Structure 1
């Protein structure tokens, strides 16, 4: 289950990730609670904050993947992690000095999104350089495990700290946590990295990446699944906050427990994925459909205890989809295209938030959080079916095109003979 940890560089990467991810999830919880406090519990304001954090990826994410192919990934990651730490430090100072306003949170969320445009595809495509193709599925699953372990611990700790000290110190703690990742990156052995030659700067590289994906049904299916799910999966974290506060009347600590329950399922799903060697199309589709079904069930949960229990399989289904799709996309991509392909992956994974989060926030205010969660779950299931259908159409057209080329080439070859 932990075979990729035999690699020295990956051990440093994973250890730093555990520390930094805990800080990130603490900050995410504090950020959501801060927005609700500043706006009197506005679901729309919370949705706007999430949208602003992911909007830059939708606008500039493809360029981030291109930069990941052009420049040494370890150096890019050190710069990006430093910038993220400075953003957390700035927000912590604003909160502690009593100067913070909701527009400050909006600006921080948008700026963090800009940095993520480059950091996320670079980090995703850097994993194979540390562990190689053989251990890549295991490393991706362990990355998800550490991310979701932090998702269990971070919100729960943040909920307690918000009750004791408020949100300001949490931003400062997150700023400090970035030192773990930066230190790990600096201490890596460069000679053991399997880094491909940087792709020279040239015109048309973005179009080349898009064409590469659209001509490959094996890459297109996981990307479409992730894209359809992301519209409502990313907003599900917003829904958890609204359900906890508005439906069940939970306080900050209980809200943290709800986020952690969702993450417990995600952690379990990631650990199970670490044991899998082969990822399949059927497994991807089944996990996607289950996520929508469990969303619907959570939306109609009669009490807070039932809601918490349903968050566990929902988290497990979501991480199953993400881990399977990520592995299929990375293994299916050539080294010189992996950064751009992961840029597209990150784009479709995060671009749904600017659409889904405000929509779910508006539905929650208009019809109530329960209705918003149920509708999001139903649309998630519909999206899975559409993704499968579109991929079949593309595959059929590709097969028809290959057959047409074959029919044109063979007669010519006979004539030449």
Structure 2
């Protein structure tokens, strides 16, 4: 009798579990090379700027040029990631980045690069990264099972920081030995393995029975979701503060090498590698930290440790001491960002993950971009060491934010929405028919009125973040047991989306509200098509333009069932 091989199993808590999945493993290895090339380019760009100008503002603006596009276009990029094939979006983004890197290589080879042109090309590459990041991060959940997602998120951070542990030093060697042209050329070439790995990814599409939203509507839906999701808003605020204060070391590291340590490109590469090595240590430690500490305690510890490391960097004039301090800084810096990213990805359902991650990228990158500019200005006025000490002081007091905005407790990915059958209707509707008004009547005992009203505050948030407008709750003055929840959606299609976006935990809130209902009749739901003056055709034979547009949409995206 032949033994039947046992299926491969893995420990979902183990940091290496996602490597058992071939798609993730292949893309991860290729991204490691791509990250290596990006860091070599970063060393070349920063050092090229220090050679062209002595202004600390201009040196710090290299980081700003790379990060500012993430803040500016992240939300449209997130909407695109949720609406279209994420694999294709990543490939298009890499194509833009490859174009920018190739242009930078050519112009540097022809000795035509100026400070302004360098910043412009860095901005172009930053735009590609801004378009890529939401699709890249949200696609991880399509490459591994949900229970391996936290480890996969951490591994993506490790990929970048493994590259950072050797990339900057290698970049310093390349710049010192062959010049910035070689650094830019290596960056361009190392995009190719990742593009090839993505071509091999046979992504299984997830067809929706509802057509996608327009870009404008998708952006609005994403913003409304985030504004009505307290846990995500807290993470975004804390991430922006960390980027604003802690980003000083990222922006000023070239000046630390040049002005405090009196070194060259090799010194800059070495201290960047020390920071990257620390980041790898931090990423590998995240799983254990999450087991032993709450998210709030971990973020506070990271901020305080980062502040102490910046003090050491500011007062040190010895490369070894600076490198040791940067190992600590890199570890807690990486740990904080992984914790923020996990918090966002596990709090958002899949339909809005790209937009939630885009908002996170905008908040973190915006903090780093604005901070880089501010710390460059402070350095011009008071010097590198004063800027670092001021940043350390702000990091030391930043844990006070936790008393106002404590980090949410997140242990598992938010439950995914379940598609419901469409409600039965007798009125001929097109997808564009609207506005649609929904009224839900509850009969609640007066002794439970306060508890019911408190619960409805939570229901208001989840209705609004899923697409409801004008939400209200009213109590009948002649019949105090009768409560009416009311909201509207712009169109019938918007209502179907709103109805099908609720997760299991959100549906549980509905069930809790229904449990308050008393009386022999069930909760009554009315769905009404609002008919303002001018919305009805003058004659029955007049063409229905909304229906015609909807028919075109059905031909393009598939009929609405």
Aligned to 2:49: 35
Aligned to 1:299: 314
Residues 1:391 and 2:437 are matched in the alignment? no
Deviation at 1:153, TM superposition (A): 1.1
Per-residue displacement from partner, 1:262-321 (whole Å, max 9, x unpaired)?
Answer: 111101011122556657333233223322332233222353321111111111001111
Distance 1:184 1:8 in 2: 11
Contact 2:91 2:195 (8 Å CA) reproduced:
yes
Residues 1:189 and 2:241 are matched in the alignment? no
Contact 1:148 1:267 (8 Å CA) reproduced:
yes
The DSSP-based 3-state class of the residue aligned with 2:147 is coil
Deviates more, 1:404-413 or 1:119-128: 404-413
Equivalent positions of 1:329-340 (< 5 A) are: 329-340=344-355
The DSSP-based 3-state class of the residue aligned with 1:314 is helix
Counterpart selection for 2:327 from 312, 315, 334: 312
Per-residue displacement from partner, 1:349-374 (whole Å, max 9, x unpaired)?
Answer: 10123311121111112111001111
Aligned to 1:362: 377
Query: 1:4–1:309: structure 2 CA closer, same or farther, 3 Å change rule?
Result: same
Per-residue displacement from partner, 1:161-187 (whole Å, max 9, x unpaired)?
Answer: 111111111101110000011001011
Distance 2:456 2:298 in 1: 32
Deviation at 1:259, TM superposition (A): 0.5
Aligned to 1:150: 163
Counterpart selection for 2:35 from 3, 8, 21: 21
Aligned to 1:269: 282
The DSSP-based 3-state class of the residue aligned with 2:116 is helix
Structure 1 gap ranges (5+): none
Contact 1:296 1:377 (8 Å CA) reproduced:
yes
Aligned to 1:284: 299
Deviation at 1:85, TM superposition (A): 1.2
Distance 1:183 1:67 in 2: 22
Query: 1:197–1:330: structure 2 CA closer, same or farther, 3 Å change rule?
Result: farther
Contact 2:83 2:212 (8 Å CA) reproduced:
yes
Deviation at 1:88, TM superposition (A): 0.8
Counterpart selection for 1:246 from 242, 249, 259: 259
Aligned to 2:533: none
Aligned to 2:182: 169
Aligned to 2:212: 200
Structure 1: 4+ residue segments shifted above 4 A: 193-199, 274-279, 392-395, 403-411, 413-416
Counterpart selection for 1:91 from 96, 104, 107: 104
Distance 1:38 1:261 in 2: 26
Contact 1:137 1:277 (8 Å CA) reproduced:
no
Distance 2:338 2:73 in 1: 24
Deviates more, 1:350-359 or 1:177-186: 350-359
Query: 1:251–1:195: structure 2 CA closer, same or farther, 3 Å change rule?
Result: farther
Query: 1:195–1:57: structure 2 CA closer, same or farther, 3 Å change rule?
Result: farther
Aligned to 1:48: 61
**TM-score normalized by structure 2?**
0.68
Contact 1:56 1:114 (8 Å CA) reproduced:
yes
Aligned to 2:114: 101
Counterpart selection for 2:454 from 402, 413, 416: 402
Query: 1:375–1:181: structure 2 CA closer, same or farther, 3 Å change rule?
Result: same
The DSSP-based 3-state class of the residue aligned with 1:99 is coil
Deviation at 1:101, TM superposition (A): 1.1
Query: 1:350–1:326: structure 2 CA closer, same or farther, 3 Å change rule?
Result: same
Query: 1:371–1:186: structure 2 CA closer, same or farther, 3 Å change rule?
Result: same
The DSSP-based 3-state class of the residue aligned with 1:336 is helix
Deviation at 1:48, TM superposition (A): 1.8
Contact 1:138 1:275 (8 Å CA) reproduced:
no
Structure 2 gap ranges (5+): 1-14, 410-450, 459-472, 484-515, 520-561
Distance 1:400 1:353 in 2: 43
Deviates more, 1:367-376 or 1:353-362: 353-362
Residues 1:229 and 2:242 are matched in the alignment? yes
Distance 1:415 1:88 in 2: 63
Distance 1:79 1:134 in 2: 30
Per-residue displacement from partner, 1:230-289 (whole Å, max 9, x unpaired)?
Answer: 113333222221111011101110111011111111010111225566573332332233
Normalized per residue, the structure richer in helix is 1
Deviation at 1:380, TM superposition (A): 2.8
Query: 1:98–1:383: structure 2 CA closer, same or farther, 3 Å change rule?
Result: same
- Give the number of aligned pairs: 411
The DSSP-based 3-state class of the residue aligned with 1:100 is coil
Aligned to 2:394: 379
Aligned to 2:493: none
Distance 2:377 2:273 in 1: 25
Deviation at 1:405, TM superposition (A): 4.9
